[in-house]
Amino acid sequence: MKNIGAMMKQAQQMQAKMQEMQARLAEVEVSGQSGAGMVNVTVNGKGELKKVKLDKAVVDPEDVEVLEDLIVAAFNDAKSKVERQVAEETQKLMGGLSLPPGFKLPF
């Protein structure tokens, strides 16, 4: 029974560390860009869009579709950077514990 108690204690410690990591990541902001830097977006560690900055040259009322595509591309760039950062932080937290492919943390 000692092993179960130790496992439960370790699980509680891991949960506390995960909550701490999630709080830190919520404060992190990452930028993504597209259109040679004419469209910039900022997302936080939770992947929430926080800011959009557009160069005036990219705003053409006659070609809104291009601007829409550039915003999506910039967001996807920022989101992938956040996901890499989350994966790195999670790997540090897990201490090299390998997870099955496709298994994502935090839950």
Tell me whether residue 68 is in a domain: yes
Structure pTM? 0.73
Domain containing residue 67: 25-94
pLDDT digits (tens, 9 = 90+) for 39-65: 999 999 888 999 999 999 999 999 999
What's the total number of domains in the chain?
Answer: 1
Tell me whether residue 64 is in a domain: yes
Q: In CATH, what number is assigned to the domain containing residue 43? A: 3.30.1310.10
Tell me whether residue 65 is in a domain: yes
If we measure between CA atoms, which residue out of 76, 67, 23, 68 comes closest to residue 49? 76
Give the model's pLDDT for residue 20.
85
Tell me whether residue 103 is in a domain: no
Tell me whether residue 20 is in a domain: no
Tell me whether residue 1 is in a domain: no
